Amino acid sequence: MTDTVRLMSIGTFSSRSRLSVRMLRHYGDHGILVPAEVDPVSSYRRFAEEQLVEAAHVRRLRDVGFTVSAISVLLAARGTESYRQALALQRDALADELRAARERLALIDQLLDQEGATMSAITITHETIPARTIVALRGTIPAYDQEGRLWQQLMPQLAQQGIAPIGPGGVFEHDPEYVESDPTVSIWLPVAHGTTAVAPLEVHEIAEQQVVQARVEGPYTLISEAHTRIEEFASAAGLTFAARRDLDDPIEQLGFNRYLVDCAVAPPEALLTEVCMPLVRD
């Protein structure tokens, strides 16, 4: 039988563990932090001092965003590679949330500083893009802001195939319309003419292009506004964009972004992106 002298009430355990009584009951009902003793008459729950270590671990997992069901699984997997992978995935998810929040903060700062006029951060021009050779990796991602998943695949492939980029790259959007989820994109980097590659990489030789280009200074959240400005500029100038039909349109007809500043090393307000929409060839 448990030595009740060494047990503490749920209130005392709550105070020492920094977990509310409500959450302790909730965890207990889900098989997490099960009380050392439950009085069969009063249903009072009592906890052992040794359970404070487990309570601290539960609190840390909760504080980094894991749900009750996930905590239950993680506690059972402690000390395994699956446990470490779960923590790493959660870290990546939190990093994505942090990046998105920083972009929104940077956009709010611009709105405040310019009293709603974000236009000074976007410059629209009619440009000629010289002929170029690119290496690309195509894939479908959960959302436009998740293209980092493809970059994590591309860079090791380039190293394995001995391909050296010669400048900053970006992304092509294959969908003929804006989609809310699962967009198909190709991330790309410029390479020397004559470069070859094997699957899953593709090499494209792109001829000189006429584009309407938006030079965006600031967070990626400004890219949607850049597209609006591009449309306004083209309409005023009587320019016509290359026709789009489906996912398999030639890459020369696709809109694309070129990232001049690496988001991994610069804050959102310091980013510099060129958003380009190809025009009908003469």
pLDDT digits (tens, 9 = 90+) for 90-141: 998 898 888 888 878 877 776 776 654 544 688 999 999 999 999 999 999 9
- pLDDT tens, residue by residue, 187-240: 999 999 999 999 999 999 999 999 999 999 988 888 888 898 899 999 999 999
Cis peptide before 200 (omega within 30 of 0): yes
* Alpha helices (H) along 36-80: 51-63, 68-77
User: Do residue 146 and residue 230 come from a single domain?
Assistant: yes
What is the reported pTM? 0.65
Query: Would 175 be classed as within a structural domain?
Result: yes
User: Do residue 17 and residue 138 come from a single domain?
Assistant: no
Query: Would 105 be classed as within a structural domain?
Result: no
d(CA 31, CA 24): 11
Predicted pLDDT of residue 155: 95
Domain count for the chain: 2
User: Do residue 157 and residue 274 come from a single domain?
Assistant: yes
Query: Would 84 be classed as within a structural domain?
Result: no
Are 140 and 213 in contact by the 8 Å Cβ rule? The answer is no
CATH number for the domain spanning 65: value is 1.10.1660.10
Query: Would 220 be classed as within a structural domain?
Result: yes
User: Do residue 204 and residue 69 come from a single domain?
Assistant: no
User: Which structural domain, as residue segments, surrounds residue 199?
Assistant: 118-278
SS3 content of the chain, % helix, strand, coil (to 5): 45, 25, 35
CATH number for the domain spanning 262: value is 3.20.80.10
